[in-house]
């Protein structure tokens, strides 16, 4: 069961991180407005004490979403740049790092690495 869940999140990491960033930004905005201008607050008066908690939750969700998005894009760029090479020696120098990075990316990047290994005859 855990394998299915981790595979699902690995395949949808890009979309998930964008959604988490957007939700985090919206909750952060809702949480910060009562402190900036009480008239613009969309929270009812009896829930205004929750503004601080929404601020903290929104900040954490926003930072987590940005972090996941950054790490995904950084890993994707690294893998694509390294797979552009047609020299076997260049790929062998980064092969261990490529294999460990590809584990955290969607399966299409694992397939691209296997195809490149077959093309350059790397085991």
Of 24-33, 100-109, 113-122, minimum mean pLDDT range: 113-122
The model's pLDDT over 67-76, given as tens digits with 9 standing for 90+, comes to 999 999 999 9
- With bands split at pLDDT 50, 70 and 90, how would you rate the model's confidence at 2? low
- For position 66, what pLDDT does the model report? 97
Cα–Cα distance, 111 to 77 (Å, whole number): 16
pLDDT: which is higher, 32 or 3: 32
Asked whether residue 22 carries a pLDDT value surpassing 90, the answer given is yes
The model's pLDDT over 23-71, given as tens digits with 9 standing for 90+, comes to 999 999 888 887 777 776 676 776 667 778 888 999 999 999 999 999 9
């Amino acid at each position: 069961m855990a394998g299915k869940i981790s595979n699902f999140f690995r395949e949808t990491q890009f979309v998930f991180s964008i959604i988490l960033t957007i939700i985090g930004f919206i909750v952060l905005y809702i949480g910060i407005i009562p402190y900036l201008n009480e008239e613009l607050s969309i929270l009812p008066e009896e829930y205004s004490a929750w503004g601080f908690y929404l601020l903290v939750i929104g900040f954490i969700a926003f930072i987590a979403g940005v972090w996941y998005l950054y790490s995904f894009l950084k890993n994707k760029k690294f893998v694509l740049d390294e797979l552009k090479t047609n020299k076997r020696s260049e790929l062998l120098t980064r092969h261990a790092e490529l294999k460990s990075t590809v584990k955290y990316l969607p399966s299409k990047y694992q397939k691209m690495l296997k195809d490149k290994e077959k093309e350059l005859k790397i085991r």
